[in-house]
């Protein structure tokens, strides 16, 4: 029996990187997974890898910042699997500039993706979660434990030069997490944040080789300069960046029964660094 046997998880941004690693790990531990991503192709690729390994997955392509997306993703999960036990708000990107060069578009884009989108998804999910929990309480005396795992960053906890908007958006999700932990405790929902440091993804790839993202009518260059990557790695006590699979392991912990009495917390997954 896996740690998530019989559970259903919805994971945004799970076509690539940390989200894809989490989707595969959750499925390997017995969960049925709704894989959602901005792009159809990587979402299908993740889902197919899960199915090939003997797991269950369904796909929804869409933009988490679209106001229509929350109802779509909750409905898609329930239609595919009949229930919802775990929500992982993982989708995100960074659009950096020092404050004197930062536009309103950059600022609000980070608020939308990192704070408003998770808020809307959780608000939509609240209708299902509250109704089911109340029925379980009436029948069994206690609701089944459910989990929310939000994703923040050390930039949101400690700040980072050139990332005023990103850091503020990531700080906002911490506030949402701590508040919802108090609101949803009565429904036996554990709500936590996983806080990532330097993890090897396309967001932290060498800027000279990194992909470009089309958002808000703009082309956004992902990645960070190689010199900064090397400097960042030197500040990590464990001596290296983390892998997507290691990052997914922290998500699994917070989504598992081992976290049934952990709520409102921020788990830093940084290799020991606070930079």
List residues with catalytic annotation: 166
Per DSSP, 124 falls in state H
Neighbours of 28 (CB within 10 A): 16
Per DSSP, 262 falls in state -
Neighbours of 40 (CB within 10 A): 13
HEC states along 170-218?
HHHHHHHHHHHHHHHHHHCEEEEEEEECCECCCCCCECCCCCEEEECCE
102-121 in b/e form (b: 16+ CB < 10 A) is: beeebbebbbbbbbbbbbbb
Neighbours of 206 (CB within 10 A): 14
The alpha carbon of residue 10 and the mean position of all alpha carbons in its chain are separated, in whole angstroms, by: 10
CA distance 63 to 69: 7
CA distance 107 to 217: 15
Q: Which two tokens stand for residue 271?
A: 């290799």
């Amino acid at each position: 029996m896996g740690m998530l046997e019989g559970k259903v998880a919805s994971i945004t941004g799970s076509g690539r990187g940390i989200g894809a690693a989490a989707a595969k790990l959750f499925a390997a531990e017995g969960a049925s997974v709704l894989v959602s991503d901005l792009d159809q192709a990587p979402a299908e690729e993740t889902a197919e890898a899960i199915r090939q390994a003997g797991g269950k997955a369904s796909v929804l392509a869409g933009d988490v910042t679209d106001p229509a997306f929350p109802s779509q993703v909750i409905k898609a999960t329930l239609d595919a699997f009949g229930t919802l036990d775990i929500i992982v708000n993982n989708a995100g990107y960074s659009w950096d500039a020092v404050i004197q060069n930062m536009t309103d578009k950059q600022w609000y884009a980070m608020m939308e993706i990192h704070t408003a989108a998770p808020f809307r998804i959780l608000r939509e999910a609240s209708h299902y979660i509250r109704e089911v929990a109340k029925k379980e309480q009436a029948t069994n005396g206690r609701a089944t434990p459910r989990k929310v795992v939000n994703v923040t960053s050390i930039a949101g906890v400690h700040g980072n030069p050139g990332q005023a908007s990103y850091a503020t958006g990531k700080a906002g999700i911490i506030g949402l997490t701590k508040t919802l932990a108090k609101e949803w405790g009565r429904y036996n929902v554990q709500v936590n944040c996983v806080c990532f440091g330097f993890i090897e993804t396309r967001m932290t790839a060498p800027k000279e080789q990194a992909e470009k993202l089309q958002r808000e009518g703009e082309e956004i260059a992902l990645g960070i300069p190689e010199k900064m990557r090397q400097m960042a790695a030197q500040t990590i006590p464990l001596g290296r960046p983390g892998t997507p699979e290691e990052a997914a392991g922290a998500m699994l912990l917070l989504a598992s029964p081992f976290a049934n009495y952990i709520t409102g917390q921020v788990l830093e997954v940084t290799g020991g660094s606070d930079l």
